[in-house]
Chain A
Amino acid sequence: MALEKELKYFQSIKAELLKQHKDKFALIKDESLIGTFTKMEEAYEEGVKRYGNEAFLIKMVVEEESVESIPSLMSGAINAHT
C-alpha cells in the first residue's frame, strides 16, 4: 500500500503531536513532518506546492481515529481497493 512509510512515521510521532497539535492536520512526506494545518485543504495545498502529484500523507491528529463504514462494500457487492 502507498503511504505505508508515512503512516508508520505518523504513528511514531503521534503522541508528541497530540500534545501541541491536537485536531490539526499533519502533512508528512517520507519520514518528515512538513507541518500542521488547521484545515485539510491547507495541508493539501502545501503538499501540492512542494510535491506536485506525488503521494503524501495528510492525517488528522486525534487520539482515536474514526472508522468509515460502507455497508455495500461490506456485503461484498462492491469491492474495496487498498
Chain B
Amino acid sequence: MPIHNLFYLVKGQINPNGLRNIGPRVRVEIQIPPILAEYFTQRGQPVPEPFSGDALFDTGASISAVDNSAITNLGINPMGVTQVHTPGGTVQQNLYPLRFFFPTLSNLTIDFNAVIGSELRSQGIIALVGRDVLSRCMLVYNGLVGICTISF
C-alpha cells in the first residue's frame, strides 16, 4: 500500500498556508473507460486524448465530479442518472463513466467511476474527488505542517 506525501510550497518551502490556500490537490488525467477505448480502436476510430489538470480531494462530497469541459472534450455520453441535493431541492443529474489516472500517485488508476459533471475550472481544478473514491484510501490532512498524506 504505497504512501504519498503531498507538499504545497510557498516561496519554495513547505508552508501550512500552501495547503490552506489551494487545498489537497493532485494531478489527474480523466480518461474514457478502457471498454469504450477498445470499442473505438476496434472500429478504427480515434480514442479521445486524456484530459489533464488538478483534482481536489473533497471529503464533503459523497460523489466525485469532473468539469464539463472534460466531458465535452472526451465526447462521452451519460450512462446513468442520480439525485443530488441542491439549494433549490433535489435534482436529477447525469452520471458519466470516467477513469481517473493519478500519475503522481504511483500511476494509481480508478478504473470505473460514475461521476457527475460540474463547472469546476473557475476553481482551478478539473475534478473533485469525493468519498466514492476516498472510501478506497486513507487520507491524512496535516494542516499544522502543510502536508497531505494519501495511501491507496
B68 at the interface (CB under 8 A from A): yes
Q: Which among B91-99, B100-108, B135-143, B144-152 touches the partner chain?
A: B91-99
Q: How many residues of A contact B (CB 8 A)?
A: 36
| A76–B2 CA distance with the chains assembled, in angstroms | 36
B14 at the interface (CB under 8 A from A): no
User: What size tier do the contact residues of chain B reach?
Assistant: 35 or more
B30 at the interface (CB under 8 A from A): no
B63 lies within 8 A of A70 (CB) = yes
B79 lies within 8 A of A57 (CB) = yes
Contacts of A2 in B (CB 8 A): 77-78, 94
Contacts A1-B92, A80-B86; A68 near B116 (Cβ below 8 A)? yes
| A53–B90 CA distance with the chains assembled, in angstroms | 28
Contact with B along A33-71 (1 / 0, CB 8 A): 000000011001101110011111111000001111111
Contact with A along B44-86 (1 / 0, CB 8 A): 0000000000000010111101001000000111111111111
Contact surface of B with A, Cβ cutoff 8 Å? 33, 35-36, 39-40, 43, 58, 60-63, 65, 68, 75-87, 90-94, 97, 112, 114, 116-120, 123, 128, 130
